[in-house]
Amino acid sequence: AVTLCGSTVSGSITATGSTGLVLLGGPSTGTCTGNSISGSITAKSNTGGVSIQGDKISGSTTVTGNSGGVTFVSNTASNAVTISTNTGGVSFQKNTIAGALTMNANAGGVSVLNNTGSGSATITVTSLGDRGCEAVWPVINPPQGAIVGFGAIVDRPWVEGTSVVPHPTVDA
């Protein structure tokens, strides 16, 4: 496990291969408060989950290949944020991002809510199908240029030749 709370870090932070929770900051009302980080954050191949909350991050942020879930909440990031190939779900909420946001190939559901940004336009891809949602009706918040939401795979009527048969489909 890795825990860093209420600290000022003049360099970068890398957490790789931890089997416990990687906790970098926390909600302002908790015992673990946010950090001020002048460099970048990299969290890679951790198995106990990653929680980055309430931090001010000057460098880029990369969260890849983790299991156990990822929480990225109430952060202010001055550069690019990449969250990809994680399992266990991703919660990305109430962040201010000045750079580009990239989220892809995350498994276990992705929740993206109430974020703001001043960087270039981005596209967000989210999937709530694994949580039973048949369709996703997203709300676009700047700087997002588009949101593509994938629902659950559901059997629907499908015409094959002269027959109507059930066929697995997905709404996007």
pLDDT in tens, 79-94: 888 888 888 888 888 8
Rounded to whole angstroms, the Cα distance separating 131 from 90 reads: 13
Question: Is the separation of the CB atoms in 165 and 158 below 8 Å?
Answer: yes
Rounded to whole angstroms, the Cα distance separating 153 from 106 reads: 17
* Phi, psi dihedrals of residue 20, rounded to the nearest 5°: -105, 180
**CB-based burial label for 161 (10 Å; 0-12, 13-18, 19+):** exposed
Query: Tell me: the pLDDT tens digits for 5-22?
Result: 999 999 999 999 999 999
Residue 13: the pLDDT is 95
User: Which two structure tokens, joined as six digits, stand for 72?
Assistant: 């990225």
Average pLDDT, the chain: 84
Residue 120: the pLDDT is 55
Q: How confident is the model at residue 144 (pLDDT cuts 50, 70, 90)?
A: low
Owner of token pair 């950090």? 35
Question: Is the separation of the CB atoms in 127 and 150 below 8 Å?
Answer: yes
Query: Tell me: the pLDDT tens digits for 128-138?
Result: 777 777 877 77
Range with the largest mean pLDDT of 126-135, 138-147, 163-172? 163-172
Residue 88: the pLDDT is 85
Strands 22-24 and 2-4: parallel
